[in-house]
């Protein structure tokens, strides 16, 4: 993370290499951590498809391991990616799940995302969608996130054709 802003290309390259090593060794903890970091880099500096892929990997691994607290970090990243893509309603719903002190401390960009979503959607609409996300069970929000990743990916693929 030290080179995230100074050298995002180098940071992403190192992160991808680390993912290869972690996947090759079967170390899901490192895969999950590195996927979360790669999602953050891709979301800010990189490719939109990559920015959608990596949070899905991390959400899946955290959900599969029964770690809903840490799952909120890639959820926060996904909310930010969806916001940048103009997918405001799902971004607000996912941000509602992700907006915990732990996730905000780990992924401070979420505060900017929620402020932007409040501006775009209006405070009442944002709060309604965020409450919906916050009230979903861990399984429900995971399924919702996967669905939104698939929808955003399909929209990107349709534009590129």
Q: Mean of the pLDDT values across residues 104-121?
A: 94
Residue 131 has pLDDT above 90, yes or no: yes
Residue 114 has pLDDT above 90, yes or no: yes
Confidence of residue 44 (pLDDT cuts 50, 70, 90): confident
- Higher-scoring residue by pLDDT: 126, 69: 126
* Pick from 116, 65, 64, 111: nearest CA to 86: 116
DSSP state of 136: S
How far is 50 from 42, CA to CA, in rounded Å?
6
How far is 92 from 136, CA to CA, in rounded Å?
13
Q: What is the pLDDT of residue 4?
A: 64
Q: What is the pLDDT of residue 10?
A: 87
* Radius of gyration (C-alpha) of the chain in whole angstroms: 15
DSSP state of 61: H
Q: Mean of the pLDDT values across residues 68-93?
A: 95
How far is 53 from 32, CA to CA, in rounded Å?
12
Confidence of residue 5 (pLDDT cuts 50, 70, 90): low
Residue 18 has pLDDT above 90, yes or no: yes
φ, ψ for residue 47, nearest 5 deg: -85, 135
Residue 1 has pLDDT above 60, yes or no: no
How far is 79 from 135, CA to CA, in rounded Å?
16
pLDDT > 70 fraction of the chain, expressed in percent and rounded? 97
């Amino acid at each position: 993370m030290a080179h995230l802003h100074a050298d995002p290309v180098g940071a992403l390259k190192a992160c991808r290499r680390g993912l290869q090593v972690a996947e090759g060794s079967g170390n899901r903890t490192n895969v999950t951590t590195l996927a979360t970091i790669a999602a953050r880099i891709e979301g800010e500096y990189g490719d939109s498809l990559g920015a959608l892929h990596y949070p899905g990997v991390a959400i899946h691994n955290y959900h599969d391991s029964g770690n809903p607290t840490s799952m909120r970090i890639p959820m926060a990243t996904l909310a930010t990616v969806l916001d940048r893509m103009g997918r405001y309603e799902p971004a607000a719903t996912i941000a509602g799940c992700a907006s915990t002190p732990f996730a905000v401390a780990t992924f401070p960009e979420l505060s900017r995302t929620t402020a932007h979503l409040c501006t775009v959607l209006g405070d009442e609409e944002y709060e309604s969608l965020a409450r919906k996300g916050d009230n979903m069970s861990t399984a429900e929000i995971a399924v919702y996130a996967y669905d939104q990743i698939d929808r955003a990916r399909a929209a990107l693929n349709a534009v590129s054709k």
